[in-house]
Amino acid sequence: MTKIGRNALYPCGSGKKYKRCCEQQEAELRQRELPSGRFRYESGSYGGPDRGYMPSILCYQELAADFYTEYFCLVKPDRVFEDEDAAVAMAEHHLAAADAARAEIGRPQDFALALRHEGYKRISDFRIVTSENR
């Protein structure tokens, strides 16, 4: 995971320096207790052919043995591709890098911070579209 300098502009899009924007929030996140349970993540795309595709990562929470449900969706709104495969490839790359950060440091919070540093934002109102319901 790349360390962000305190005086660098933060990638959240606020236009503020990191120390004035998100440094305190991230310090609190590192200390916060995370939800219990097992989670899995899948890369994908968010959007459509007329609007373009943004890289996305969908989090699933395990409710019972081998039964998962959608928990939240992360989207990188600053990158829009005409090609859905390009958006998915970028999400796969970022998901792998975040997983490597978690493995290297050993804390799940660093997984979340790695994705946040790449510009992913959580969206609450999302709909899963499969080939069957297009």
pLDDT of 52-105, one tens digit each?
Answer: 999 999 988 888 888 998 888 999 999 999 999 999 999 999 999 998 888 887
How do the domains of the chain map onto residue ranges?
35-126
- Distance between CA atoms of 105 and 46, rounded to whole angstroms? 30
Over 70: is that where the pLDDT of 109 sits?
yes
pLDDT of 7-26, one tens digit each?
Answer: 665 556 666 666 666 666 66
Q: Return the pLDDT at 1.
A: 44
CA 78 to chain centre: 13
Q: What's the full length of the chain, in residues?
A: 134
pLDDT of 119-129, one tens digit each?
Answer: 898 887 766 66
User: Can you spell out the DSSP letters for 88-101?
Assistant: HHHHHHHHHHHHHH
Q: Return the pLDDT at 78.
A: 92
Over 90: is that where the pLDDT of 34 sits?
no
- Distance between CA atoms of 55 and 44, rounded to whole angstroms? 6
Q: Return the pLDDT at 37.
A: 66
